[in-house]
Structure 1
């Protein structure tokens, strides 16, 4: 079988693109104040990152917590604070988003500021953030 220059160029281009790998996007939803569920979410993130790394692919992971799940991101209450810190250092492609609406509610209830883990960025609304991520093509995971 003979390849024309165009077919040969396309084949070479496809091979080069495959060698570079693909970038996957994953949104992980946490809405429970349950260390077991949070650890499952962190395991999911770790397993996804490991799997795609073995495939030669990239993965971008965004973990979004709201409602009771935001407690997993509260500095003096999180039973997984050390694990989140370690994963943030280990994985360049993971981020943690905390719901601003939930945070305001917590602060109103406690009558003072609530400090989140250093690795957490506040997003105005956790639910809206999950919607936006799905509209951008992120796969949705809820442990």
Structure 2
């Protein structure tokens, strides 16, 4: 293992001009997992901002994880609101919303901080193809 690390050479630090972009994946209706995603976002933001490095963070929800962004259901609504003010973006999957509407007859009402994307999975693919780091807590 040490040989592999030695062959890879030193890891270059992120330059102050280069923004760090992170996509965080939430697909479980689990308050602990949702809080872990928010903690990850907060910790990464704090770390890089202390170094003067700009940070972009997008939390992408789909499937059961969409409950993170549904008004009246989200166990982390107050944290979503606070972190949105700090610049974290929250994306909700339109495919999941359509499935909920088909099942229940009602379109889910999202938190004001949520933006709708056509597909959560496709959004994660697009962000990774654009060079964003991927985290799944």
Task: Please indicate the TM-score interval, normalised by the length of the shorter structure.
Answer: 0.7 to 0.9
Instruction: Indicate the residue corresponding to 2:121 in structure 1.
Output: 127
Shift of residue 112, structure 1, vs aligned partner: 1.3
Q: TM-score, normalization: structure 2? A: 0.87
Gaps of 5+ in 2: 1-14
Question: Aligned equivalents of 1:129 and 1:21: distance in 2?
Answer: 25
Correspondence 1:62 to 2:58: yes
Deviations 1:92-111 (A, max 9, x none): 2x100000000000111111
* Structure 2 CA distance for aligned equivalents of residues 27 and 110 of structure 1: 30
1:23 partnered with 2:19: yes
Larger-Rg structure: 1
Give the Cα separation in 2 of the matches to 1:46 and 1:109.
35
Taking the aligned partners of 2:44 and 2:82, their CA distance within structure 1 comes to: 16
Q: How many Å separate the matches in 2 of 1:35 and 1:52? A: 26
Structure 1 residue 116 displacement after superposition: 0.6
Residue-pair matches, total: 123
CA RMSD for the aligned pairs? 0.9
Instruction: Determine the C-alpha separation between the residues in 2 that align with 1:113 and 1:40.
Output: 27
Task: Tell me what 2:136 maps to.
Answer: 142
Which position in structure 1 is the counterpart of 2:96? 102
Task: Give TM-score scaled by structure 1 length.
Answer: 0.83
Distance 2:107 2:57 in 1: 28
CA deviation after TM superposition for structure 1 residue 56, in Å: 0.8
